Chain A
Amino acid sequence: ETGVTQTPRHLVMGMTNKKSLKCEQHLGHNAMYWYKQSAKKPLELMFVYNFKEQTENNSVPSRFSPECPNSSHLFLHLHTLQPEDSALYLCASSQQGTGETDTQYFGPGTRLTVL
């Protein structure tokens, strides 16, 4: 248990569906991240939020829409996805601005399959 939870753990959706992934961190951190993990590829950073403000959008297609209502919650809204979007989506959090190294704590991920 890393203090970062993600729901759902598994999601199967059609290309015309709209769904949302949820992440919650119980660590009191001020930064949250979405990553995409595909087989045999490095983790791809998608979005970064610092103090609820989006500070990084790593050229992610608009069919992925993040939302960070507060420093503890992060959502990833999905619509009109493609089969190649099937992957493990990981959420992470960290505490920035304390002079510490950038240790990120990950949730268990949501395994997404797009049919």
Chain B
Amino acid sequence: TQLLEQSPQFLSIQEGENLTVYCNSSSVFSSLQWYRQEPGEGPVLLVTVVTGGEVKKLKRLTFQFGDARKDSSLHITAAQPGDTGLYLCAGAWYYGNKLVFGAGTILRVKS
């Protein structure tokens, strides 16, 4: 059983469509991070959410941290082919410096 469940595992959409990726857990985290990883590269941090209920926007990307700090979502508006990649969520505990990662969502945006 994974501590962080991401859904969907794979998403293939047309350019211009909207999409939402979910990250769920039964554990409470001090913060949650979203990363994007392209083939042959390491994950690159997109955003860190810290406060329960927090919403952060990064251009067409909207990130939300659940009120109970157990779940998060990533919404992309008007997806572009450049958004294609593996999206990873990672939860941080209150103590120590360990992150627990979800298995990721592979997004493919077709032009």
Residues of A within 8 A of B (CB): 2, 4, 6, 9, 31, 40-43, 45, 48, 50, 56, 90, 92, 94, 96, 101-109, 111
Let me know if A42 and B2 touch, CB within 8 A. yes
Let me know if B42 and A4 touch, CB within 8 A. yes
Q: Tell me, rounded to whole Å, the shortest Cβ–Cβ distance linking A21 to chain B.
A: 13
Choose, from B12-20, B72-80, B96-104, the stretch at the interface.
B96-104
| Most chain A CB neighbours (cut-off 10 Å) among B31, B50, B98 | B98
Q: What residues of A have a CB within 8 angstroms of the CB of B48 in the complex?
A: 101, 103
Size bin of chain B's contact surface:
20 to 34
Let me know if B33 and A106 touch, CB within 8 A. no
From residue 1 to 59 of chain B, which have CB atoms closer than 8 A to chain A?
2, 4, 9, 30-31, 33, 35, 40-45, 48, 50
Let me know if B42 and A45 touch, CB within 8 A. no
Q: What residues of A have a CB within 8 angstroms of the CB of B35 in the complex?
A: 106
Residues of B within 8 A of A (CB): 2, 4, 9, 30-31, 33, 35, 40-45, 48, 50, 88, 90, 92, 97-104
- Residue on B nearest A102 in the bound complex, by CB: B92
- Our pick among A56, A92, A108 for the contact of B40 (Cβ within 8 Å) is A108
Let me know if B41 and A56 touch, CB within 8 A. no
- Residue on A nearest B30 in the bound complex, by CB: A101
A111 to B41 CA separation, bound complex (whole angstroms)? 10
A31 to B98 CA separation, bound complex (whole angstroms)? 11
Q: Tell me, rounded to whole Å, the shortest Cβ–Cβ distance linking B59 to chain A.
A: 20
Q: What residues of A have a CB within 8 angstroms of the CB of B50 in the complex?
A: 101
28 contacts between A and B (CB under 8 A): A4-B42, A31-B97, A40-B103, A42-B2, A42-B100, A42-B102, A42-B103, A43-B43, A43-B101, A45-B98, A50-B97, A90-B42, A90-B43, A101-B31, A101-B33, A101-B50, A102-B92, A102-B99, A103-B48, A104-B33, A104-B45, A104-B90, A104-B99, A105-B45, A106-B35, A106-B44, A108-B42, A109-B41
Q: What residues of B have a CB within 8 angstroms of the CB of A48 in the complex?
A: 97-98
